[in-house]
Structure 1
Amino acid sequence: MFDGLVELLLALPEHNVALDGGNRDSQNDVFALIRYGDQTRAATIEGKVSEPFGPPVGEWFAQSSQQKRDRMRQLCGLLCLDEVPPSHIRYQLMHRDEAAMIVHSFSPTRMWFEEFASFARLLGAEAERDQSSTVTLKSGQRLRLGWATGNEDFLAC
């Protein structure tokens, strides 16, 4: 997925990240600190088989309480979006805002890749399976997005 050798420095499973609004933190399957080349980066990894990336933003935001408005404002700010994203974008993808956001999919039918690709396009990136793409947000922060296909043999366990 990245050019050259990638070294895992730290991995924290089920890592929570506090966000404004709402009743819960954002939970990442794995928070990782990785090194590739001369760069050290933080990454969140979302493991998937069949489950979706949460409800679409339009559904999640339909009954928008003040807490949801606060959370959406913070998420849009982190991702340098000027407005609430289109209603079809999946909410769970909105709160993955580290230097790298990687989906590790074990789905034999590649479920939910199109939703991930739609989110990447929202940020100005093109998503391809087993490739990473980098987008520079309006803030100047670089965000690397990636979809990694897991070995289906692990589903047989």
Structure 2
Amino acid sequence: MNYIPISNLEQWRSLLADPNKQWVYGYSAYELAHAWQGEMKFPASIEQLLLDSGISMMRELDPIAMFPEHQVHLDTRQAPSQNDLFVLARTSTDLMTIMVEGKVDEPFGPTVADWLKDASAGKLRRLQFLKEHLHLSSIDDERLGSIRYQLLHRTASALIEAKRYHARHAMMLVHSFSDSAAWLEDYDAFLALYDLQGGANAIAGPVRVKGIDLWLGWISDRQASDFEVFS
């Protein structure tokens, strides 16, 4: 895969599947781009989240590459997980892969149960793949059915890329721009599968998954009107 450097917001916009529909003030693609585009560093809100985590390794994290609209293939090359932003970060000794999911008021898509209605053999194989890669094979179908499917494949993306980059750590991070922390309860329900406490403005974990330390985080942030907009 070839990567092209991005130096402005218009280039970020061009990567969207439907720029005219997705690039709208107050929606997640627009808000996330305005929060992250600029110098190669974490947004101030993310830096504060890492500092407040109380985890020494998090305080050392430094981004070394960012890839907007990053596709990760799962069990097949069909229907990859389209991640809003992939950040490869490092400490003095380790690498971490971070999949950032931007949200305003948009939900995390269908539940697993809804996604599986009249499921094809391909969907059943994909779910089995995700359960194995997320170390969730022991979770009963009824409980897993209430979880939002998007949270599964976004988290799996972080773990898959961690293996690819030989990173010891992976994180799925929700960057929310909702005043009411919309859909936080769905995120919390997902973390409960790992017996982790969720909540806004916190990082939970780690959970050891196939030799990788998995972390899960949520940050509630301001919208673009409160930021200096980069040109």
In the alignment, what sits opposite 2:150? 92
> What is the 5 A alignment of 1:97-112?
97=156, 98=158, 99-112=170-183
In the alignment, what sits opposite 2:118? 63
Q: Secondary structure at the match of 2:174?
A: strand
In the alignment, what sits opposite 1:33? 88
> What is the 5 A alignment of 1:4-153?
4-20=59-75, 23-36=78-91, 38-82=93-137, 83=139, 84=141, 85-95=143-153, 96-97=155-156, 98=158, 99-137=170-208, 139-152=210-223
**Which runs of structure 1 show a deviation greater than 4 angstroms over 4 or more consecutive aligned residues?**
none
8 A Cα contact 2:173 2:217, kept in partner = yes
Q: Which has the higher strand share?
A: 1
Give the unaligned 5+ runs of structure 2.
1-48, 159-169
Deviation of the 1:130 alpha carbon: 1.1
Deviation of the 1:123 alpha carbon: 1.9
Q: Secondary structure at the match of 1:89?
A: coil
Q: Which has the higher helix share?
A: 2
Cα distance change of structure 1 residues 155 and 110 upon mapping to structure 2, 3 Å threshold: farther
Return the TM-score normalized by structure 2. 0.62
| Alignment RMSD (CA, Å) | 2.0
Q: Within 2, Cα distance between the matches of 1:38 and 1:148? A: 25
Letter in 2 for 1:40: L
8 A Cα contact 1:22 1:71, kept in partner = no
Letter in 2 for 1:144: W
Q: Secondary structure at the match of 1:12?
A: strand
Return the TM-score normalized by structure 1. 0.89
Q: Which structure has the larger Rg?
A: 2
Paired residues, what number? 156
Give the unaligned 5+ runs of structure 1.
none
8 A Cα contact 1:79 1:137, kept in partner = no
Q: Within 2, Cα distance between the matches of 1:126 and 1:72? A: 24
Deviation of the 1:119 alpha carbon: 0.3
Deviation of the 1:54 alpha carbon: 1.0
